[in-house]
Amino acid sequence: MTEPYRVAVVGVGIGRAHLEAYRSLPDRFRVSAICDLDLERARPVAEAYGSPRLIPDYSDLCRADDVDIIDICTPSWLHASQALQALVAGKHVVCEKPLAGSLKDVDALIAAEAASGRRLMPIFQYRFGHGAQKLKRLIERGVTGRLYAVTVETHWRRGADYYAVPWRGRRATELGGVAVTHAIHAHDLLLYLLGPVRSITARIATRVNSIETEDCVAATVELADGGLGTLSVTVGSAHEISRHRFCFANLSAESNTAPYTNTADPWTITAAHADTDGRIAEALAGFEPGPEGFAGQFVRFAEALESGGPLPVTLEEARATLELTTALYAAARNHATQDLPITREHALYAGWNQP
Ligand SMILES: NC(=O)c1ccc[n+]([C@@H]2O[C@H](COP(=O)([O-])OP(=O)(O)OC[C@H]3O[C@@H](n4cnc5c(N)ncnc54)[C@H](O)[C@@H]3O)[C@@H](O)[C@H]2O)c1
C-alpha cells in the first residue's frame, strides 16, 4: 500500500463530517490542511482533528506542495470554479454536491479533468449504505426482474434558522432549492440503481419558508425501460423521513426511513414468488459490508487512485444526476413533459437558473 494521501478540507460545515471520515481511514488519508475564510470557526475544528495547517486563502491552498487532494465543502456556487482551480494546480479533487450549477459547467470540468491528469470525484455518499448496495447487487444479478414502479420521498425539516445563513435559499449562491440541495442524494440513488430517466414532469413551489428557491417538489419520471417513478420532496415535514420503495417483478424493496441514513440497513426485501427467496439469499451470500457514507466513498476513492480504475462516483454519473435536475426545472417551468437527454441547444443547458 502507498503512503496515505495528503488531503486538505475546504469549509468546516459538512467538512467536519469529511474530516471524521478521513480520521477513520488513517492508512489511506492524512489531513495536512484545513482551509476556511472563517478562522474563528475553523480553529477549534483544526484542534479537534490533529492541528493541521490552517490556510484561510483558497489560492494559497492550491499552491501548497504538501497537499495531494483538495476536498471542497464550500457553499454550492463556489464548487465549479474552485474545482477547476484545484485541477489546474495539479491536485486531485473531491467536491460536495451540487458539483456545478449547469451542465455546461460540468462539461467544462470533464474536459479540465481529462487535461489535468488528475481525478475529480463528486460526492454522493448515500450510495454506499448497505441496504442500497444489497439492492444494487440483486439488480445486477438479475434477481429483481424488471421495475414496475418506484417512490422516492425526501421529507425533511428546515426552518428560518437554517435559511438565516446568507448563501442558502438564494438561486445565485445555493443554485436551487430542495431539488438541488436536499433531494439530490435520493434522486442520484434512483439513477445509480435503475439507470437513465427518459422523461419527467414536475411542479415546484415555495410554501414552507420565505426564500427565493423552491422548498416543495412533486415529480413523475419514466425510466428508460418504461418503469415509472414518483419523487416527493419538502423541507416542511414535522416528522423527517427519507424513503425509497421499489416494486420489481420478482420482489419489492423498501428502505428504512431514517432521514440521513435510509440507504443503510435495514431494508425490507419481500419476494413475490416462492423460488425468489432462495435466489435473494444466494445473491447476498457473498455480500461484504464495507464502510458506509463518506468513509465508504473515500475508501473506494483511495482504491481508484491507486489502481487507476473508475471512481466510486464518476463525473458522468454526477452529470446524469444534474441532467435530471435540469430536466426537472425545465418541466416545472414549462408545465410540460421534459424528455432527456438535455442537449447543448436546450435553453437550460447553460444553467437551470437561466432567466
Ligand atoms: N453531502 C451531504 O450530505 C451534504 C450535507 C450538507 C451540506 N452539503 C453541501 O456542502 C456545501 C457546504 O454546506 P454547509 O452546510 O457545510 O455550509 P456552511 O455554510 O455551514 O459551511 C461552509 C463553510 O465554507 C466556508 N467558506 C465559504 N467561502 C469560502 C472560501 N472561498 N474559501 C474557504 N472557505 C470558504 C465558510 O466560512 C463556511 O465555514 C454545500 O454545497 C452543501 O450543498 C452536503
Question: What whole-number distance in Å separates Cα of residue 211 and Cα of residue 215?
Answer: 8
CA-CA distance, 93 to 103, in Å (whole number)?
19
pLDDT in tens, the chain (355 residues): 579 999 999 999 999 999 999 999 999 999 999 999 999 999 999 999 998 999 999 999 999 999 999 999 999 999 999 999 999 999 999 999 999 999 999 999 999 999 999 999 999 999 999 999 999 999 999 999 999 999 999 999 999 999 999 999 999 999 999 999 999 999 999 999 999 999 999 999 999 999 999 999 999 999 999 999 999 999 999 999 999 999 999 999 999 999 999 999 999 999 999 999 999 999 999 999 999 999 999 999 999 999 999 999 999 999 999 999 999 999 999 999 999 999 999 999 999 998 8
39 close to ligand 1 (CB < 6 Angstrom): no
Using a 6 Å cutoff on CB, does residue 168 contact ligand 1? Answer: no
Q: Does residue 181's CB lie within 6 angstroms of at least one atom of ligand 1?
A: yes
Q: Using only the alpha carbons of the chain, give its radius of gyration.
A: 20
Q: How far does the centroid of ligand 1 lie from the alpha carbon of residue 119, in Å? A: 21
| C-beta pairs of 39-43 under 8 Å, 24+ apart in sequence | 41/12, 42/12
* Alpha carbons 122 and 39: distance in angstroms, whole number: 26
State if residue 12 touches ligand 1 by the CB under 6 angstroms criterion: yes
Contact 122 CB / ligand 1 (< 6 Å): no
| pTM of the predicted model as reported, rounded to 2 decimal places | 0.98
Between the CA of 290 and the centroid of ligand 1 the distance, in Å, is 27
